[in-house]
Chains A and B, each alone.
Chain A
Amino acid sequence: MALTPLEAERSDRAPLASPDAPAAKNIAGRSPMKIAFDRLRSDKVAVVSTAIVLFFILVAIFAPLIVKIFGVELRARPGSEALNIFTGYGLIGPPEHSFTWEAPLGLQPNTGNDLLAEWVYGARTSLEVATIATVTTTIVGIVVGLIAGFARGWLDRIISFILDLFLSFPFLLGALTLAPIIVNRYATSEGALDKAQFFSLIFVLTFFGWMGLARLVRGEVLSLREREFVQAARVIGVPTRAILFRELLPNLVAPIVVSISLGLPAFVTAEAGLAYLGIGLTSRPSWGQTINRAIGYFEAYWLYLWAPVIGVMLLVLALNLLGDSVRDAFDPKTRR
């Protein structure tokens, strides 16, 4: 089989990277993935970002356990028992009382829900939505991009037209329109509404999120399909599906990984933004919703607002930096 471009690059570059290296030592073959991971490991920013992202993932996975360890509960007591009914603030914890382990972030004004529990489950919602949306957009993007790039002629033109059509569709408008339709359709059943809202959110994010990757993949495929190894495969009669997924796809790992790592933070922000606008999930905790409620309290009870804001900020920043590092690591043209 022909050398993939990445391998070709590497063999070109190897002498440059270590011109004085003692010969006959460490001449092990390294795959592009391994090179990328080696680079990532030595990148401090990447390591710290990974740690932060891992922290959030653990929080999301073990949300019930964490809540139990702290001894807090999502909806423990009714508001009238947990709150000072004249001010609406919690009877324990900030802002009216000092810090207590019973409610480390305090109680939510108006409802008396524990804010730590809200935060932890909010992280879960955030990551759940972002992960699923990333996976679906990636799959749709890859498949459409591969087909569009490899199929010449009318199929490519149609797909490209659809791509442009979707790109011209205003995302927020679509989400705003869809929300009331979903709410009306599933109005009478709370469980169904929750599921419908969840899947419609994923759907909206996917619907408006796959075009970038599809275009990227299409462009790559357009140039790759003229390379010798693809030509050779065609000549010896390899079926199209095999060419697409066995010859072309492995060469697209880099742009795909980069797109995933930059897509995740975008979806975290989108989820929070939609929840803030009241058109995301309403029946489970979410950072966006907490921020929406907490805005009026930014002076009187800053922790209420800042906990979810810092959550979103930290997660998005870490994911973005990680994404940058991943892109650098996978980019054969970067030199360190």
Chain B
Amino acid sequence: MYWKRPMAAVSVLALTALAACGGGDDDGETSTGGPSDSETSFIEGGGSGQGQNADAPVPVPEIEGAVAGGDIDVVSISGLTTMHPSEAYYVNTASILSNLVVRSLTQYIYDAEAKQMVLVPDLATDLGTPNDDFTEWTFTLRDGIKYEDGSPVTAEDMKFGILASFDRDTFPDGAAYSNDYFLNGDKYKGPYSDPQGDCDCVTVSGNDITIKMAAPFPDMPYWGAFPAISPIPEAKAKDPNAYARHPLATGPYKFGDYKPGDTLELVRNDQWDQSTDAARHAYPDSYNMDSNTPSATIDQTILADQGDAQTMMTYDNVLAPDLAKAKQSGNLVTGGVPCTAFWYPDLRKPEWKDINVRKALGLSYSYADSWLAAGEIIGVTRIPGTTIQPPGIPSRPEEYDVLGNGGERPDTEQAKQLLTDADALGTEVSFYYVTSDPLSVDAKNANVKTLTEAGFEPKPVAVADSTAAAEMRADPNAPLNLRSGGWCSDWPSGASWMPPLFGPTGGANYSYFDEKAVNTQIKEIQTAPIDEQADLWAALDEEIMTKYYPVVNLGYYGAAMLHGSAIQGFLNDDVFGMPTWKDIHVQE
């Protein structure tokens, strides 16, 4: 999944993204945690939704002491770009839509006891019934669900919503799991691009929806939690652009005033019936989202905690200079985000053919120097790591350390030795940086220093802004041999890590990694029995790094979000690294 917005791709690209650890709740720890505490608490607190509970009580029990009412201001710098349910694939748009506005087949709930997110049914009555080999899933819709205009939600609408999730031409930014897994996903173009066609993969009978897969898809219930798998009334969504400005709400809030990329007002949807919902509480009367507020202003306003700021919150990470004050305020929420930042050497280029040169590259990243330079808070928004999958993913392997540096120490002497042995001293390393972002320039300087020390010849490529950087990274023929970026999981499973990062058609395979053995292994694991998959993904994680070392792990992300003192129930949803919207309420 993409991190917050295209421009957050900025952050990710420029490595200024915020990331964190420390499984703290909003207990406002005041101590400056050492690296070791953060590391431990991160692993302990890191369950990002591996739980599933098909029998969650409906309606969800009330939170003790929580009362309805209050208006919450949500401020952020990351503009909400794509609010069409079929296209929302940034963590902020997807999280806001699916938690507050649009109901999908399934959804997540925060389990306070286990301190983790749990997958529970939403519009479906359970988490779906697969056939033996997970190539056919059947979901039964609840009765009595209505859109905000009072019209009933039908299974046909659900089918249309699923068909719309195929439409890559109309929704280029959307997630492509329907295309990847559903029957005819490679051929069917979607209802807008191909109005006459049909994927012949969704059949409706009464309230039952059956989806046929092209390949076994045991993770279907997780894909079912995306806003893309939500009902869309075909007659009212003829124009996808108009629908994107006002998607019909099935959840507790509907769109009020909405200026795309700028402000969004969410008001109560009186057609939503709490007695059908297994997770949403919807205590506040309204949310006012302003997504063009500078980060420094956000921190200052919320920390001042005066007047309306007491009911203000953000899902952006706190800036490093404000961290100490934020911790003291007791209104800082920290937690894990299932994202890993990588350096991707372009394996098509001859200079990276030797694994020892790639390992030397890993030893020459300046780790703490570039994290500090990029404004990361080490141990809070950036946690050193060595495995591909971040903590909290059930298929994460036991700690292994290919480079022996703990994922945090450059060792330019050893790197030089490796390069000398491989006769590769003076290997050029060309990577981009953003000249208009001083933090990106500083991070570049830090890496140029260590790379030079190790005997590489750094050739930084300047780009003017983050959009140009994103384009350059996506361009396979760009004059680069090293790309950087982050990957966040779509659901807590190795299936949302290994295939996109290392598979032949992987959307985030910026290393252009292509090993036959790994490709067949990925295929095999996808068809393996579901309860064995986690271990197999874990083994593959370690095998890829040990045997091929195709990416350099630049650390995991973490969240550190601020809220006003009157806001309660704000925790970190570590499936997304976003607030637990469903539980938020305003104190009397």
Q: Which residues of A contact B (CB under 8 A)?
A: 75, 78-80, 83, 85-88, 109-112, 179-180, 183-184, 186-190, 193, 277-279, 282-283, 289, 292-293, 295-297, 299-301
Contacts and interface: CB of A to CB of B under 8 A. Distances in A.
Nearest to B370: A79
A86 B462 contact: no
Interface string B29-47: 0001110000000000000
Interface in B443-466: 445-446, 449-450, 459-465
A85 B368 contact: yes
Interface in B437-485: 437-439, 441-442, 445-446, 449-450, 459-465, 468, 479
A109 B462 contact: no
Contacts of B462: 183, 186-188, 190, 193, 282
Given A79-B368, A88-B372, A110-B372, A183 B441 contact: no
B468 A180 contact: yes
A80 B369 contact: yes
Interface string B420-445: 00000000001000011111011001
Interface in B313-330: 319-325
A190 B323 CA distance: 34
B373 interface: yes
Contact of B323 (A87, A180, A183, A289): A87
A183 B463 contact: yes
Interface stretch (B60-68, B163-171, B375-383): B375-383
Q: Give the 8 A-B CB pairs with smallest separation, nearest first.
A: A180-B464, A278-B436, A80-B368, A79-B372, A183-B464, A78-B369, A79-B369, A187-B462
Given A109-B321, A279-B436, 16 more contacts: A80-B366, A80-B369, A83-B372, A86-B34, A86-B379, A87-B320, A87-B324, A110-B375, A180-B468, A184-B468, A188-B461, A188-B462, A278-B436, A282-B438, A283-B441, A292-B438
Given A78-B369, A79-B373, A180-B468, A110 B320 contact: yes
Contacts of A88: 320-321, 372, 375, 377
Contact of A85 (B323, B378, B441): B378
A301 B450 CA distance: 28
Nearest to A293: B438
A187 B446 contact: no
Contacts of A87: 32, 320, 323-324
B375 A282 contact: no
Contacts, number: 109
B14 to A, nearest CB: 12
B530 interface: no
Contacts of A188: 430, 459, 461-462, 479
A195 to B, nearest CB: 13
B226 interface: no
Contact of B449 (A78, A83, A190, A279): A78
A278 B435 contact: yes
Contacts of A189: 459
Contacts of B459: 188-189
A178 to B, nearest CB: 10
A299 B479 CA distance: 42
B32 A86 contact: yes
Nearest to A193: B462
A298 to B, nearest CB: 9
B581 interface: no
B296 interface: yes
26 contacts: A78-B450, A79-B446, A80-B372, A85-B368, A85-B378, A86-B34, A87-B32, A87-B320, A88-B321, A88-B372, A88-B375, A109-B321, A110-B320, A110-B373, A111-B442, A183-B464, A187-B461, A187-B462, A188-B430, A188-B459, A188-B479, A189-B459, A278-B435, A297-B321, A300-B322, A300-B325
